[in-house]
Structures are given as C-alpha cells and as structure tokens.
A and B are shown apart, each in its own frame.
Chain A
Amino acid sequence: MTEDLPSVNNRPQAVSIANLVFDRPGSSFKLSLGSFHISAGEKIFLYGPSGCGKSTLLALIAGILSPEKGAIEVDGKFMTGLGGPARDRLRGEKIGLIFQQFNLVPYLGVIDNILLPCRLNPLRRARAEASDGSIQKAADRLLDRLGLDKSLLGRPVTELSVGQQQRVAAARALMGRPPLLLADEPTSALDSDLRADFLDLLSRECTLSGSSLLFVSHDRSLAEDFDRRVAFSDFSEVSLKKPPKEDPHE
C-alpha cells in the first residue's frame, strides 16, 4: 500500500466546523452552527425532523453549497475559502455521498456507476488501485461484500430494486476509501426489514475502510450502533425567515 491506513489518533478530524452561518439570499431559512466535529473513523448518527436543515448541512460539508461565514475542514483540508472547482475536487477525493434514492446514473451499468468516483478523481482511483490492485477488483470486492449478486451486473440499474440500488450507491461511496461518508436518509426508501441490514453493511464497510460516517435520519430507531448520536437542534440553530409578503399590514 502506498498510503498507510493511519491509526485513529494521528489522523486529522474527518469534519471540523466552526462558527458557520449559511444565509443564502432567497432561501427560506438561515442556518447557524457553533461548533461540530467528527473524529477520524467515527460514526455519527445525526437526527432531526424533516426539513430542519440537515441536508443543507451535508451540502455545506460536501462543498456544494458555500457558507456566508465560518470554516469547514474535511480531513484536515479547508473546504471553505476554496473556489468551485477546488471544492469539487476536494469532495471527489475525500467524500462519498449516498442519497435517499435515485443515486444511480440511469444509463450506466452497475460497475460503471460504482467506478464513477475513480473515473473523475485520480486520487480515489490511486487509493483503490493501491488497496485492491485495480479499480475493477475494488468494485468486485465491494459488490461481493455488499451482497450484490453478479447476475445483476448485466442489468440496467433502473431494473434493480431500491434496496439493490442503495447498495450499489454504498459501494460507489466506499470506492477508493474516502475519509468521510455522508449518508442522507439512505434507508428511508427501503422496507423496514431491509433498513437494519443496509445499516449494518454500511457501518461494517466504513470500519473496514477507515471512513468516518455521518448518517442523517429522522428515524431514531436506527441509531443504536453508532459511536455518537447527535440531535441536529443541539448544536445548530435554524431560523425561518419571514416570506416577504406574508402580512400585507406589516
């Protein structure tokens, strides 16, 4: 391996956020956040009701949105203060993302979907090659570990079940061992009996690849196996902005 998997102690924090203010003109709310950290390898369950701003926080950490104030570090690198393309590169290198559903590019096969991060990010590719020999082998290994049958590979991804699609998305997020996985309600489209399975797989694979996991959900029944459970409202403040013409007499 060219890159050693360092022990948890001497690795930078996976996420470090300080004094964050997101107040985009035109958005309906303002998000303020004092301080929030995820240690390397730590698995965090972040819960809060729907529409409370959890997804916005993920988009900020992923560098897709930019805050008005404050600093975000991912794996020791500042996401804030970077230009758009640099944020895109940092996201590609450091972060695996799993969404609630529709994670897959419909015109790509299973393997091509899983290989996407490696195709677009040389560093992710290099890490996958370093650990598995080739990106194909890395994809095969992940498919195998996530219990995806080889017979699925030839099928269009749109014909997979939602559970299978989410596992393919997890495999993609894990490709090239990113330091941080962001999962935004990845189980809410699954049947209840599949949720625990998926969560187990995800957690196990994050441990194996040394990735930190920020798992966002409104469903607290899933929270058991995490290192830390955090209520979104405990460290952040979301203030709803008044729509401009709510009260004509004002």
Chain B
Amino acid sequence: MSRLAYLASLALKSAWNRRLTLTFIALSVAISAILLVGLERLRGQIRAGFVQAISGTDLVVGARGSQIQLIIYAVFHLGGATNNIGWDTAQEIAALPEVAWTIPISLGDSHRGYTVVATSVDFFEFFRYRRDQKVAISTGRVFDDIFEVVVGSEVARKLNLSLADSLVLKHGTASAAPEHSDKPFTVVGVLEPTGSPVDRSLLISLRSMEAIHIDWRGGAPVPGFSIGPDRARLMKLEPKAITALMVGLKNRRQVFSLQRSINNRPGEALTAVMPGVALDQLWRLVGGGEKVLWAVSALVTVTGLMGLIAAVLAGLGERRRELAVLRSVGARPMDILILLALESLLLTAIGVIIGLLTLAALIYVLGPILADLYGLNVYLSAPTAREMLLSGAIIAAGFLAGLIPAFRAYRLSVGDGLNATI
C-alpha cells in the first residue's frame, strides 16, 4: 500500500469516527452543489428545450412587434398574445419562390388550461423538432373534418383522453372565459411525446377554429344568434386571420434575404423572426437575473466552505494528541498536512455526490410539475460537461479550503513535538 493510499485510508477512518459533525458539513456542501449544478441544469435544459422545439423552422412570421414576444407566444404559448396577420398575406408568403413550406398557427382558445392550436395538416407533414423529428401520431389519425381534435401526449395523459372522447373548447384562457359548448369536438388522434410544447397542445384545423367562432363577434357569442354545428359545416370556413406563420426554406442560406424582404414588405406590417436569434435575445434578457442567481449560489458555496474550515479547525484541538502519536511513529509533518487535506477533499466529494443525488431526486419529483405549470422541460440525464466542471470546481474549492486547517495542523505538529501527548 502506498503511503498516500494509506493516508487516504486513515483520513477515511478518521472522518468516519467523527461522522456526526462531518455529516452536517457534507450536507452544507451538498446544498451548494444542488444550487450550482441545479441552476446549470435548469439553464441548459430549458434553453435546449426551447431551441429543440423550434429547430426545424427557419422563420416565424407574425404581426409587427417584439421578436421575442412573437416567438414565445406563437411557438411556446407563453407571454402575451400578439396581433394577427391576414390570411391572404400568409398565402402570399407561402407562394414566395424561396419558401418550401409554411405552417399557419392560430391561437386563442384553450381546453382546461391547455392551448388549442389551429393549424393545417401541413403541421404533421413539415413541423420538425430536435432538428429532424416529425410529430408522430400515437393512436388515431390526423384531423380531417371540422370539430375533430388531435391531442398532445401530455394532454391525453393528464386529462385521460382517448379516441372518440368528446370535449368542449373555451374561448381564451381565463377560467371564467365563455365556452364553445354548442360545438363539441371529438378526439381523433393522440400524438407521441415530443418533449416540446406540442405535448401540451390540442390541434384543430383552421376551419374548425373558424366554425366555432362563426356566430361570435368581439369575443362573445352574439345574443339571439346561433349557428349549429351542422349548419356551420356547410358554410365557407376560410380563416380571415392567423396568429403566425412558420416558414421553411428551400435553401437555408436565403433566410437573411427573405427575412429582410418580409420585414420591408409593402402592405401589412410584418415581423419575420429567426427563432435562434430571438431566443438568443431572450437569453440575454434573462441573463441579468441568471447572474444574480449564480452570485447567490456562489455565496452559499463560500458559506458552506467556511463552515468546513471552521469545523475542521475546531476539531484540530482534540486531535493534537492523535497527530502527535502519528508523528511519534514516523509520520512527517507533510503527512499530517496530506491527511487533513484528504479529509476535506473527501468531505466535499461526498457532499457533492449527496448533492447530485438529491438534485436527481428533486428533478424526478419537480420536473413534471415544472412542465405542468410553466411548460419547461427539466428531466433526468447524464451530467453534462459543464455540470461535471461545476462539480469538480466545488470539490477543488473544498480541497483548497481544507488546506487552511491542514496547514494549521502542519504547524501544530511541528511546534508541538511530542508534548501534546506527554
């Protein structure tokens, strides 16, 4: 057994001997790890989730306004509603020579807290997430007739919906919003999970959207005027306006020129957004708050490490005799230093491991809640390089902090000689 390995085994036994005290130090290190690595996990996975959800789309076109608002409303169903764009404008864009495909999106209705997305069957053909994944049907089929709905995997699971079930949409998202109870929908398809906002959406056709609002004016049913579903079915149900248009290009290199030409288009004032660019703007926006969280977490870590230093220093008082015994059998002062440093290293390493395991448990429990409440996807996964780096940095900081009591022990063991035992 090498000397270092032997000292490590001594450090282990010594730490085990004082496990009650040291447990609390390890726990304070664990809390630091939970905060720092957890923050990194949230940051990384939320960003990746946003990027992946829209990765196959080159441009999102909506009414003139904030790029960030357009993206997070039209794609992620968060934030405030934007103005609509005309259906004729959308069709003109779809007909541009650079455009390979378009997916119209019309929002505004909901069902029990889940967003209703009116779109065309092109959605199933062209929408991509995680670079090249199509949205697949798990059971049933794509909507065809009006009053048919395809539900996202989470909607189906949480609301216990299956094929042929009937449901009623609500106008708007407020809990007191009026319902389209006269025109119930039938579930015709359930989607596979995608890990994107699609999971929390109900997909209907633009015609359906038109149909349920045909006897409405200004956001409310017109009193004394009602068109039943069967009559609505016979009417011309061309949409007048949509919320946004997702655009895929034949050649991605044309994205800048097309964006410019859409933004400068005469007629209706439009905004064409490159999703990646808008998300970068969003991250810059939340970056300030992120920095505050990092600073607080770093302070908690420093506090934890100061606790470690204090506890190991305090323990040295009762350990002077033990250290002198080790010296008497031939341990060098440097051995004493290594022994103490290894103990702090061990302690922080155990703390970080406890922290990572606790974090995994927290993510397991809280991940679904985050997804429910905020549509954020945070899930268990192997640690990323940055997370490993952070964990390593905590352990390194613990080792460095441990050098303070270790040097103290070194100096004591030189100065004490054997007197501490005699």
Contacts and interface: CB of A to CB of B under 8 A. Distances in A.
Contacts of A185: 422
Contact of A103 (B325, B332, B334): B325
Given A92-B329, A120-B329, A97 B6 contact: no
Contacts of A121: 329-330
Contacts of B419: 55, 59
Contacts of A62: 328, 418
B1 A59 contact: no
Contacts of B329: 92, 97, 116-117, 120-121, 172
A216 to B, nearest CB: 10
A155 interface: no
B226 interface: no
Contacts of A107: 13-14, 16-17
Interface in A79-122: 84-85, 88-89, 91-93, 97, 99-100, 102-108, 112, 116-117, 119-121
Contacts of B17: 106-107
B421 interface: yes
Given A92-B329, A99-B328, A105-B322, A120 B6 contact: yes
A165 B10 CA distance: 20
A116 B328 CA distance: 10
A184 interface: yes
B213 interface: no
A103 to B, nearest CB: 6
A84 B417 CA distance: 12
B47 interface: no
A124 B326 CA distance: 15
Given A55-B418, A64-B418, A106 B322 contact: yes
A91 B326 CA distance: 12
A174 B16 CA distance: 28
A58 interface: yes
Nearest to B14: A107
B321 interface: yes
Interface in B382-422: 414, 417-419, 421-422
Contacts of A85: 332, 334
Interface size class of A (residues with CB under 8 A): 20 to 34
A124 B322 CA distance: 21
Given A105-B322, A105-B325, A91 B330 contact: yes
Contacts of B422: 55, 99-100, 184-185
A166 to B, nearest CB: 13
B335 interface: yes
Interface in B1-49: 1, 3, 6, 10, 13-14, 16-17
A129 B10 CA distance: 22
Nearest to A64: B417
B327 interface: yes
B325 A119 contact: no
A148 interface: no
A120 B321 CA distance: 18
Nearest to A94: B330
B331 interface: yes
B315 to A, nearest CB: 12
B414 to A, nearest CB: 7
Contacts of B375: none
A65 interface: yes
B333 interface: yes
Contact of B327 (A58, A88, A100, A104): A88
Interface in B313-356: 321-322, 325-335
A85 to B, nearest CB: 5
Which 5 residue pairs spanning A and B have beta carbons closest together?
Answer: A92-B330, A107-B17, A97-B328, A64-B417, A88-B332
